[in-house]
A and B are shown apart, each in its own frame.
Chain A
Amino acid sequence: MSDLAEPKTRLEQEVVAFRVADQDFCFDIMSVREIRGWTATTVLPHAQSYVKGVINLRGSVVPVVDLSARLGLGVTDPGPRHVIIITVVQSQTIGILAEVVSDIITVQEDDIQPVPDIVADTVKSFISGVVIVNGEMIRKLDLSRVLPAASVEF
């Protein structure tokens, strides 16, 4: 009985792993639409410091979030080697600025561990869990927390 139920509970998930401010992060590949090289953004007035501006994605206006600044890890000075990960979160299209996309990894849901308590609360609120892959710790992002619109009160 338990053997039969096993495959159903052991859900696999593919995640995109990337690097921001020398730390590894990842999120569900299903949220990713495409990965682009850095293009200059159009600055938005009255925007939070972590909103880099907007870019043209085939006719749509897409805001770009500097994830490093969003997590309080310092403002990124983007160059041609940086990438923008285009994600769809809660039907909004958002670009996430990252240093480099490292890999696409298959993780078991069971392997995702809760965030240790030592992590400061601000960062903890953006991370839904951690995974250890090949001895490296990858932080799983809660994308909905990263949205600029949802964070007006911050």
Chain B
Amino acid sequence: MKGGGADDFRDSFFEECEELLEAMHDGFDQIANETHDSETIHAVFRAVHSIKGGAGAFGLDGLVGFAHHFETALEKVRSGEIEADYEVLELFKHCGDHLSDLVAAARDDEEVAQETAAALGEKLNEVIGFDPSEAEELPDFEPTTLDFGMLDLSAPPLPAGYVIAFTAHPELFGSGNEPLLLFRSLEKLGTLDVTCDSSEVPPLEELDPATCLLSWTLRIETEVDEVTLEEVFEFVEDCCEITITALEPAEGAEPYSLPDLGAEESVPFPEPPAETPDIAEDGDAPAGASEDSGDLGANHGEASADAAPPPAKAPAKQVKDTKEPKEKQEKQRGGGATIRVDLERVDKLINLVGELVIKEAMLSQSIAVLDLPSENDVSTGLESLKQLAGEIQEGVMAIRAQPVKPMFQRMARIVREAASATGKRVHFVTRGEYTEVDKTVIERLVDPLTHMIRNAVDHGLEDTETRIANGKNPEGTVILSAAHRSGRVVIDVSDDGGGINRPRVLEIARDKGLVAEDAELQPSEIDNLLFMPGFSSKAEVSELSGRGVGLDVARSEIQALGGRVAITSTAGEGTTFAISLPLTLAVMEGMVIDVAGQTMVVPITAIQETLQPRTVAIHRIGAQGRVLKNRDSLVPIVDLGASFQFRDEPEDLGDQVLLLIETENDRRCALIVDNIQDQRQVVIKSLETNYRRIDGIAAATILGDGRIALIIDPDSIVRDVSIPSDPTMQLMR
């Protein structure tokens, strides 16, 4: 079970690390917000400790070394020796970040710069008042280890051996276990005498070789304790009955001799690495040795953080210890156990449910044609089917949804890094972290959100002196919140900084030729200048957020997800970026339109308004171009039918409808469509799977009648429109 499953173990270890790191950060947040209790620091300690233990089992030396150092410092806080004040907490958070880095690096087999660990290590030493040259300090963090040897000295003399009754369940082989290997491990612990009871085994013709009907009586003469014996059976304890009975101690048996060595041999995992040099150097020889045995215990995750329990109870304690934080997390999430499912399976399910909904709509149409009397069985049955299908669809969509919490935690780190790079003190607050959003949306939101968070710390918040001068709290606040609002997710990034310096923004925009010299802009229009490509407002380009790519990139990434960004800013009080996103990428709110006999869909997010051609002023520019005047700007008009080569552009726009659409960079365009049918949620289908990308088309969808309708891509349509040069157009670009 070591061989083939090793990768699985590794995977689940890293998965567990993610959870543990999350728990650790949670703990720090609670301490920072003073919502913690005595259990919090224990939870943090356990998280770090479990990571160390697991890492040891996989021979991840660097990780073990740093985790150990970190754990030592945490222990000082836990025991109340030092106070977890602001500085200490900040350091711990940085250490937590570094621990995450180490875990990620170990997972991806990458190298991590040693300097960070060394620097943090030094700081940790400072905090805990630990001088590496003073070896006497070492026993102080001894309570973290469970030393069987030490315990055994005070315990009654060990029995000379044990009798183990081992009855396997029939499915023992099915779980990949092999009793022979267990017996071999036992053999290493002492003199072993095995008796096999095969009375349950049926005649050969009835025998199923995959079931195990044997039981064994194992008599072992050994000096190790019961716990060590139980460990051998650790992996099979669910599929067998084990009773361990101690034999009477033999006369003159040595009560204690090198239990460490025995324990070492019983370890079913690969041998743990030697202690990392910086720690090993710290201790003198005996202390180092006892620490080693402690670490062996840690590899099983059982070196209990609390006072050492009696040996016999150790396994029970171990179970309790590891389960406790998990249960807590689950309680917080409001859910039970989770399973991992291949995304492809979920997507297939989503497709099928989409199909079910369409079939149901088609059936409704056919029944409507039959002209049945109202209140007939078919219609009522169909109605409840419709409801069920809707609920299934919602449920399936929810599978892809995940809480934004892990992403928010990543942002907490961005804030810390940005804060230390700019020398500002920042209080980071997250709200609504259990808001659920489609997995893909979350993944693709990380980059733009990172940018906005950095921007808030770097540009949004004033420096400490200015804040004090303005009578504000020297510590700036950045709030990241998420909430569901009318079928969309709204994520706000707000700071309590000085607000947007509008005269300065306007000046820069004019200098860079982004706005005409004499243009009069509304405050909100000035704010939106921040999103213009090539706009960077800070006088000196900072290493942090002034990388030439500005908020415009962040915004186009959000728009690619079907989202929008809005800014509100109040001078002296702060700035808020509000990001509004669809809940999922699998469905979209669309307007169903007719163009030249074809049914098409326009994403609602792009549509600003619909206009009757008769009621607006349409101007011709040249032979082909037509523009329409809307809110003091000229908007080019595009006939969708003509741009898709379905027809020639109509001369007279009598009966058509104009859709005013807005896309990236505030570019606008009016689309001529024949008719607006409906507004509804549509399921997004890829065209590229079986065909290829089409200019001006984003994807396809299936309508209620089972036919495919194409979803237009407003961005690519607007991009293809050449804008006539007109002075007032400059403003809108």
Interface residues of A (CB under 8 A from B): 40-47, 54-56, 58-63, 92-94, 148-149, 152
- With A59-B354, A94-B690 given, is the CB distance from A45 to B708 under 8 Å? no
Q: Are A40 and B645 in contact (CB under 8 A)?
A: no
Would you give 26 A-B contacts (Cβ < 8 Å), ordered by A? A42-B599, A42-B707, A42-B708, A42-B710, A43-B598, A44-B694, A44-B697, A45-B643, A45-B646, A45-B695, A45-B697, A45-B710, A46-B695, A47-B694, A54-B687, A56-B706, A59-B358, A60-B685, A61-B686, A61-B687, A61-B689, A61-B700, A92-B691, A93-B690, A148-B691, A149-B692
Within the complex, the shortest CB–CB distance from A125 to chain B, in Å, comes to 21
- With A56-B702, A149-B691 given, is the CB distance from A61 to B696 under 8 Å? no
Residues of B within 8 A of A93 (CB): 689-690
Within the complex, the shortest CB–CB distance from B351 to chain A, in Å, comes to 5
| Residue in B645, B700, B707 whose beta carbon sits within 8 Å of that of A46 in the complex | B645
| Residue in B599, B645, B646, B691 whose beta carbon sits within 8 Å of that of A54 in the complex | B691
Q: Are B690 and A46 in contact (CB under 8 A)?
A: no
Q: Most B CB atoms within 10 A — which of A59, A93, A94?
A: A59
Q: Are B708 and A46 in contact (CB under 8 A)?
A: no
Other than the given A45-B694, A61-B700, 9 more pairs (CB < 8 A) read A40-B707, A42-B700, A44-B691, A44-B697, A54-B687, A54-B700, A59-B355, A61-B687, A61-B689
Residues of A within 8 A of B201 (CB): none
Task: Say whether B385 faces chain A, with CB atoms less than 8 Å apart.
Answer: no
Task: Say whether B118 faces chain A, with CB atoms less than 8 Å apart.
Answer: no
Residues of B within 8 A of A58 (CB): 355
CA distance A149 to B195 in the complex (A): 71
CA distance A109 to B689 in the complex (A): 32
Residues of B within 8 A of A148 (CB): 691-692
Task: Say whether B709 faces chain A, with CB atoms less than 8 Å apart.
Answer: yes
- With A46-B645, A54-B708 given, is the CB distance from A59 to B694 under 8 Å? no
Closest B residue to A41 using CB positions:
B708
Which B625-651 residues have a C-beta within 8 angstroms of A? Answer: 643-646
Residues of B within 8 A of A45 (CB): 643-646, 694-697, 710
Q: Are B685 and A59 in contact (CB under 8 A)?
A: yes
| Residue in A55, A149, A152 whose beta carbon sits within 8 Å of that of B708 in the complex | A55
What are the 6 A-B residue pairs with the smallest beta carbon separation, nearest first?
A45-B644, A59-B355, A42-B708, A59-B351, A63-B691, A149-B692
Residues of A within 8 A of B566 (CB): none
Residues of A within 8 A of B646 (CB): 43, 45
Residues of A within 8 A of B690 (CB): 60-63, 92-94
Within the complex, the shortest CB–CB distance from B4 to chain A, in Å, comes to 30
Closest B residue to A44 using CB positions:
B694
Within the complex, the shortest CB–CB distance from B693 to chain A, in Å, comes to 10
Q: Are A42 and B352 in contact (CB under 8 A)?
A: no
CA distance A93 to B685 in the complex (A): 14
Q: Are B702 and A59 in contact (CB under 8 A)?
A: yes
Residues of B within 8 A of A40 (CB): 707
Closest A residue to B692 using CB positions:
A149
Residues of B within 8 A of A152 (CB): 692
CA distance A149 to B689 in the complex (A): 11
CA distance A94 to B689 in the complex (A): 10
Within the complex, the shortest CB–CB distance from A149 to chain B, in Å, comes to 5
Residues of B within 8 A of A43 (CB): 598, 646
CA distance A60 to B692 in the complex (A): 14
Interface residues of B (CB under 8 A from A): 351-352, 354-355, 358, 598-599, 643-646, 685-687, 689-692, 694-697, 700, 702, 706-710
CA distance A41 to B691 in the complex (A): 14
Within the complex, the shortest CB–CB distance from A137 to chain B, in Å, comes to 31
Residues of B within 8 A of A41 (CB): 708
CA distance A56 to B355 in the complex (A): 10
Q: Most B CB atoms within 10 A — which of A42, A61, A62, A63?
A: A61
Q: Are B710 and A44 in contact (CB under 8 A)?
A: yes
Closest B residue to A88 using CB positions:
B690
Q: Are B694 and A61 in contact (CB under 8 A)?
A: no
Q: Are B692 and A59 in contact (CB under 8 A)?
A: no
Residues of A within 8 A of B700 (CB): 42, 54, 61
Within the complex, the shortest CB–CB distance from A62 to chain B, in Å, comes to 5
CA distance A58 to B685 in the complex (A): 12
- With A44-B694, A45-B646, A46-B644 given, is the CB distance from A60 to B706 under 8 Å? no
CA distance A40 to B687 in the complex (A): 17
Closest A residue to B355 using CB positions:
A59
Within the complex, the shortest CB–CB distance from B450 to chain A, in Å, comes to 35
Residues of B within 8 A of A56 (CB): 358, 702, 706-708
Residues of A within 8 A of B710 (CB): 42, 44-45
CA distance A44 to B712 in the complex (A): 11
Closest B residue to A42 using CB positions:
B708
CA distance A130 to B290 in the complex (A): 83
Q: Most A CB atoms within 10 A — which of B646, B685, B692, B697?
A: B692
Closest A residue to B702 using CB positions:
A56
Q: Are B598 and A60 in contact (CB under 8 A)?
A: no
Residues of B within 8 A of A54 (CB): 687, 691, 700, 708
CA distance A32 to B685 in the complex (A): 23
Within the complex, the shortest CB–CB distance from B325 to chain A, in Å, comes to 42
Closest A residue to B685 using CB positions:
A61
Residues of B within 8 A of A59 (CB): 351-352, 354-355, 358, 685, 702
Closest A residue to B641 using CB positions:
A45
Residues of A within 8 A of B694 (CB): 44-47
CA distance A131 to B541 in the complex (A): 73
Residues of A within 8 A of B702 (CB): 56, 59
CA distance A46 to B692 in the complex (A): 11
CA distance A43 to B709 in the complex (A): 9
Residues of A within 8 A of B644 (CB): 45-46
Within the complex, the shortest CB–CB distance from A97 to chain B, in Å, comes to 15
Closest B residue to A40 using CB positions:
B707
Within the complex, the shortest CB–CB distance from B79 to chain A, in Å, comes to 61
CA distance A103 to B702 in the complex (A): 33
CA distance A60 to B599 in the complex (A): 18
CA distance A62 to B709 in the complex (A): 12
Within the complex, the shortest CB–CB distance from B616 to chain A, in Å, comes to 27
Residues of A within 8 A of B598 (CB): 42-43
Q: Most B CB atoms within 10 A — which of A42, A45, A62, A152?
A: A45
Residues of B within 8 A of A55 (CB): 708
Closest B residue to A63 using CB positions:
B691
Closest B residue to A59 using CB positions:
B355
Closest B residue to A152 using CB positions:
B692
Within the complex, the shortest CB–CB distance from A54 to chain B, in Å, comes to 5
CA distance A58 to B359 in the complex (A): 9
Closest A residue to B599 using CB positions:
A42
- With A42-B707, A45-B645 given, is the CB distance from A60 to B695 under 8 Å? no
Within the complex, the shortest CB–CB distance from A154 to chain B, in Å, comes to 14
Residues of A within 8 A of B692 (CB): 148-149, 152
Residues of B within 8 A of A60 (CB): 351, 685, 689-690
CA distance A53 to B364 in the complex (A): 26
Residues of A within 8 A of B709 (CB): 42
CA distance A60 to B695 in the complex (A): 20
